[in-house]
Amino acid sequence: MKQSKQNAKYVRTNSNDSFVVVGETNGEVGDRRLSKTYEVVNSKHLMSNEDQQSVIKPDFSPLTKDTLSKYFDIDGRVVQESKLRQSLFHGGCNEEIRRTVWSFIFGLYPMLSTTRERKDLDIENHYKYHALKRRWQSYMGDYNEDNLSDSIDLSTLNMQDYMSADLPTCDVHTVTQDNLHSTFKDMARTYAWKKTMDSAPFSWYRVIEKDLPRTDLDHAYFKDDSNIHLDRMKNILATFGFFHPNVGYVQGMNDILTRFLIVLDSEVDAYWCFAKYMERIENDFDETGMVEKMVLVQKLLKELEPNLYSHMVNCHVEDLIFCHRWLLVSFKREFDYDESIRYFEMVQSQYLELDSPVAVSAQDDQFRLEVSALVWHVAVTC
């Protein structure tokens, strides 16, 4: 029995024979009124009832605490990384486990680290961050808005004075607490001292101070009268900028950071996750890098949705400039907070990255198919 077009369900087979506009309509879908009606150009888009029943739909429900626990072994290692990334990709995760999940996804902890090893990492990360922050703050102590010059003299701080400076004590407790903390403090000071630091930070440092007062003002996390969270944001952004001189600070980074700070609720953890994420996408904050990404989106759109792309060409918006903010801050300003967080973690799950286990397996399967086809061709023609 032939299905009516009005009730038909569609599946894409080839974007070049998808749908065409046939006229105006008064129909509604949900709360959104349709401006055009569409007809099926190729009947292959129509699914039979049997086909519809045979389609296996992914589970889009968020990852739960019980399911997450199954991905760890008895020592606390993530032994089912692919499963974790797959679950996150399909539905994000529940808020109660988000801090734990993000700590692994964004590189704060290695997947195969044990619970005990992560305690040591917490101590190491704590002192490294505060050593970095102490170093740039020691240079900036004598500067204010009235006497900011184009650069700072990095030779004014004596190494011996810096190495003897105290660092805030980490509250993580271990069996060998005293010796371990002392060792990590010394290692952190050496680490921070050897890091290359931006000697001309004031062009972007001023921008941070202007951006922060208008960052996520409506979110409850930043409505604290003490402004402690804004101070944390300034510390993190400045620390990143000083020790990533090729990037510094660019507008939009504050929007990215708020996600990490709200979810992790820790200045130290938020810094390391933010820094690792920024190191991966820093080219997006470069004019050339973002142009390359927008060109890629343009190519994908042209290949997958040629009718829409043609329409955009006719409207003279095929350069996709309007996508810039979407790509830069991952739709943070287009969705409400909860939706944007879930979208962000789904995309950053890296489940379908080219170097992910799933992608590597798919590439191996494709290679085997091509080899089999070549062997068959040789056998037939020889």
- pLDDT, residue 28, reads 41
Asked if the structure places residue 129 within a domain, the reply is: yes
Task: Verify that 42 and 159 share a domain, yes or no.
Answer: no
pLDDT above 80 for 250: yes
Task: Verify that 44 and 118 share a domain, yes or no.
Answer: no
Q: By percentage, how much of the chain surpasses pLDDT 70?
A: 68
Question: What is the average per-residue pLDDT within 184-210?
Answer: 87
Indicate the residue type of 209.
E
Task: Verify that 278 and 149 share a domain, yes or no.
Answer: yes
Task: Verify that 50 and 111 share a domain, yes or no.
Answer: no
| CB-based contacts of 337, cutoff 8 Å, min separation 6 | 219
Return the SS3 of 72. Answer: strand
Lookup result for tokens 């129509």? 46
Q: Which among 264, 284, 304 is the end of a domain?
A: 284
Asked if the structure places residue 354 within a domain, the reply is: no
pLDDT above 60 for 13: no
Task: Verify that 141 and 19 share a domain, yes or no.
Answer: no
Nearest to 237 by CA among 207, 194, 264: 207
Task: Verify that 144 and 44 share a domain, yes or no.
Answer: no
Task: Verify that 32 and 154 share a domain, yes or no.
Answer: no
Question: What is the average per-residue pLDDT within 40-68?
Answer: 67
* Average pLDDT in the chain: 79
Cβ 256 vs Cβ 274: under 8 Å: yes
Asked if the structure places residue 273 within a domain, the reply is: yes
Radius of gyration of the chain (CA): 26
Burial class from Cβ neighbours inside 10 Å (0-12, 13-18, 19+) for residue 39 reads: exposed
Task: Verify that 28 and 136 share a domain, yes or no.
Answer: no
Asked if the structure places residue 115 within a domain, the reply is: yes
**Residue 297, number of CB atoms within 10 A of its CB:** 13
**Residue 268, number of CB atoms within 10 A of its CB:** 21
Task: Verify that 160 and 274 share a domain, yes or no.
Answer: yes
What is the number of structural domains in the chain? Answer: 2
pLDDT above 50 for 26: no
Task: Verify that 50 and 199 share a domain, yes or no.
Answer: no
Task: Verify that 129 and 42 share a domain, yes or no.
Answer: no
Determine the Cα–Cα distance for residues 84 and 186; give it in Å rounded to an integer: 36
Asked if the structure places residue 209 within a domain, the reply is: yes
Task: Verify that 128 and 216 share a domain, yes or no.
Answer: yes
Q: Return the structure tokens found at 379.
A: 């056998």
CATH of the domain at 184: 1.10.8.270
Cβ 167 vs Cβ 131: under 8 Å: yes
Determine the Cα–Cα distance for residues 204 and 215; give it in Å rounded to an integer: 16
Asked if the structure places residue 277 within a domain, the reply is: yes
Asked if the structure places residue 136 within a domain, the reply is: yes
pLDDT above 70 for 286: yes
Q: Return the structure tokens found at 333.
A: 């300003």
Nearest to 99 by CA among 126, 63, 59, 61: 63
Residues 90-116 as b or e (16 or more Cβ within 10 Å = b): bbbbeeebbeebbbbbbbbbebebbee
Asked if the structure places residue 280 within a domain, the reply is: yes
pTM exceeding 0.85: no
No. of helices (H) and no. of strands (E), the chain: 16, 4
Q: By percentage, how much of the chain surpasses pLDDT 90?
A: 39
Determine the Cα–Cα distance for residues 89 and 66; give it in Å rounded to an integer: 17
Q: Which of 174-178, 242-246, 247-251, 253-257 has the lowest mean pLDDT?
A: 174-178
Determine the Cα–Cα distance for residues 302 and 313; give it in Å rounded to an integer: 10
- pLDDT, residue 89, reads 93
Nearest 10 degrees: CA dihedral of 123, 127, 129, 133?
Answer: 160
- pLDDT, residue 20, reads 45
Range of the domain at 22: 15-54
Q: Which among 237, 263, 284 is the end of a domain?
A: 284
The residue ranking higher by pLDDT, 239 or 218, is: 239
Q: Which among 284, 313, 336 is the end of a domain?
A: 284
Q: Which of 222-226, 311-315, 357-361 has the lowest mean pLDDT?
A: 357-361
**Residue 192, number of CB atoms within 10 A of its CB:** 24
Lookup result for tokens 């904050």? 285
Q: What is the pLDDT of residues 334-373, one digit of tens each?
A: 888 899 999 999 999 988 765 556 666 666 666 666 667 6
